[in-house]
Structure 1
Amino acid sequence: MESIIKYKELIEGGLKNLSFDYKPDSLYNPIKYFLNIRGKRIRPVLTLMSSSCFKCDPKLALNAALSIELFHNFTLIHDDIMDSASSRRGKETIHSKWGINSAILSGDVMLIMAYELLEKYDNKIYKHLSKLLNKTARQVCEGQQMDIDFESNSNSTFDQYIKMISFKTSVLLGCALKMGAIIANVSSEDQDNIYDFGINLGLAFQLQDDYLDTFGYENLVGKKIGGDIIENKKTILFHMAMINSNETQKKHITGLYNSKDISNENKVYQITSLFKESKADISSKELVNEYTKKAIDSLNKVNIDKNFKDQFIVFAKNLMKREL
């Protein structure tokens, strides 16, 4: 954990050194405000960890790490607008504070700055980094649209759901790790394996997040329990319930999801009971364990020293326990 603290200090220092000496203030002040609402910096930390494990000075990967963090925050600003969220990390969202138009523009500038940071690398590395970020950015947008579409589509499948959360969550973790490997100039095999580690870790994390939304505790999850059910989100619990249930049970579940004549409290209670009855909760936890194992298997294929693999495993465990 000591090394992670040092990585975070390096990242915070890099963010503070970013230049916002531009006009108008109404465009750049929201960016400074949002970056000061400190998140966990998970993705940039992974970039620095990745470069370090391949015996590359993490300072050489700092601009890529900052690029990933700016891109991630750009997506959060736009997510908040789409979700009509009034707060983020306990603070007022940008669109609530400055308006939707300014929030969109400030988010767009963060995306531009993310690419500008990659321009600091030589042409060969820049080409690989920008190609990777382009692919990742497109997938994140596709995943977000799939998530929106699934809210009104009761026919979405398990495989479609896994693809959606992979695009929304996992690809950015994979991208962060692969960027560090690219900068360290390691083999394409090591780049792909550490990318797969990020993909599988991201899937395990998101699936557990889905589980905790219904079966967790508010102080751990940081939001009201049952929110996904109220918002008609077809998470892994829904899909495992549909897989495990007979036709009568399936109709009951979909009927409750689509019903507008039931209170939120009753809806959460009844659907949670059906999840338990169908053992969707157990199946979902088994799936979390499956993707966690896949992540470890991918990590074990990476040609790095054992002590670095141990650091990644500790990081993964803390991420899953929400202790980062």
Structure 2
Amino acid sequence: MDIEQLLAQRARLVDGEMPNLLMDIKPPELAAAVSYAILSKGKRIRPALVTLASEAVGGTAEKACFAAASIELIHSSSLVLDDVIDKSEKRRGRSTVHTLWGTDMALLTVQILAALSLRIAARDPRLIHAIADSLFYMGEGEAMELVEFAKDKKGYLDLAFRKTGSLFSSAAEVGALVGGGDKTQIKKLKEFGNHIGLAFQIRDDILDCISKEDDLGKPVKKDLFMGRPSIVLLDAINSGISIERMMKCNNGELMHLVSESIENAKNVAIEEIDIAKCQIESFDDSYAKTKLNEMGDYIITRSK
């Protein structure tokens, strides 16, 4: 089974946890917005990470499904909020929640999704701290982007941890917790999640420069036009290429102009995956360990 087949398989497991969550949400307009956000499926990489982390320490994917659903709901809430802040009209090729129901209802959808996540996580109170941490750090990450916090690689990685790495870290942590991992295993899987999360964000930055909107399912060159920190753009700026010059480029021209910065970003992503793999090197060989390593490779080669 390749990694995309695995993601699809684990997505079906996690999706089974979702329908009951949508009962009794009032008013119907809010229920519809929440349902739309949940059903706007991505690849479900984070919940798959939860299940694999559980298996890597001797647990099962099935018993980790509730924890995986909790993580996916946090991710869904963050996407709705991102789209409001960025004023994005498309996400995964579909209209965003705020374009269909308005900004006020979208913000309430964010709140409900986070609440549903905590309700599920409360089945095992040990998970609450990890979920709360990711919510806290992701809020910091959104604010850091707004105030142009990152000016160099160090600042960028700090931001990328909060924006993306923290939820990957929490995903691996809750998987290890429900799987019965010991303290050392939980710590190592948290670090594994953090570093593949950083690599995921770096790949997103690269795709923002090299993709077409129809392929990505959302606007491209968003980082450039919104003045958002991107490891590619920061490297290009620090090498002497001005924002103004980049903004005049179409996508093909931009790829050529910042090609060296794209290569540098790819190398940083590879470094992050190598660090991640080192975290679980001492784990017993297993199907889950193999797939965790394959997930790292997939993250830095994906096309969307």
Per the normalisation by structure 1, the TM-score is 0.83
The aligned counterpart of 2:177 is 182
Deviations 1:117-167 (A, max 9, x none): 11222xxxx1x31111111111111011111211xx7x8232111100111
Choose 130-139 or 265-274, whichever is displaced more.
265-274
Change (3 A) 1:179 1:26: same
The aligned counterpart of 1:140 is 138
Alpha-carbon deviation of 1:201? 1.0
Give runs of aligned pairs for residues 66-77 of structure 1, distance below 5 A.
66-77=69-80
Give runs of aligned pairs for residues 188-203 of structure 1, distance below 5 A.
188-203=183-198
Change (3 A) 1:5 1:229: closer
The separation in 1 between residues aligned to 2:265 and 2:67, in whole angstroms, is 34
Change (3 A) 1:29 1:310: same
Counterpart of 1:104, as a letter, is L
User: Cα RMSD (Å) of the superposition?
Assistant: 2.6
Alpha-carbon deviation of 1:25? 1.1
The aligned counterpart of 2:27 is 24
Give the match's secondary structure for 1:305: coil
The separation in 1 between residues aligned to 2:265 and 2:63, in whole angstroms, is 40
The separation in 1 between residues aligned to 2:250 and 2:121, in whole angstroms, is 47
The separation in 1 between residues aligned to 2:75 and 2:278, in whole angstroms, is 27
Alpha-carbon deviation of 1:217? 5.5
Alpha-carbon deviation of 1:38? 1.8
Change (3 A) 1:3 1:236: closer
Deviations 1:175-231 (A, max 9, x none): 111101011221111111111111111111221222232245556544555442233
The aligned counterpart of 1:237 is 232
Q: Are residues 1:318 and 2:301 paired?
A: no
In the alignment of these two chains, the number of paired residues is: 301
Q: Are residues 1:161 and 2:159 paired?
A: no
Counterpart of 1:144, as a letter, is E
Counterpart of 1:184, as a letter, is G
The separation in 1 between residues aligned to 2:213 and 2:107, in whole angstroms, is 30
Give the match's secondary structure for 1:14: coil
Give runs of aligned pairs for residues 278-297 of structure 1, distance below 5 A.
279-297=260-278
Deviations 1:239-267 (A, max 9, x none): 33355x3xxx3xxx3xx32x5xx794348
Change (3 A) 1:269 1:311: closer
Change (3 A) 1:50 1:24: same
Give the match's secondary structure for 1:140: helix
Choose 51-60 or 94-103, whichever is displaced more.
51-60
Which of 97, 101, 106 is equivalent to 2:109?
106
Which of 223, 231, 249 is equivalent to 1:228?
223
Alpha-carbon deviation of 1:237? 2.0
Q: Are residues 1:305 and 2:285 paired?
A: yes
8 Å contact from structure 2 (residues 203, 269) kept in 1: yes
The aligned counterpart of 2:248 is 265
The separation in 1 between residues aligned to 2:229 and 2:22, in whole angstroms, is 42
Greater Cα radius of gyration, structure 1 or 2 = 1
Give the match's secondary structure for 1:106: helix
Change (3 A) 1:221 1:38: closer
Per the normalisation by structure 2, the TM-score is 0.88
The aligned counterpart of 1:10 is 13
Which of 54, 59, 62 is equivalent to 2:57?
54
The aligned counterpart of 1:115 is 118
Alpha-carbon deviation of 1:87? 2.0
**Ranges in structure 2 where 5+ consecutive residues have no aligned partner:** none
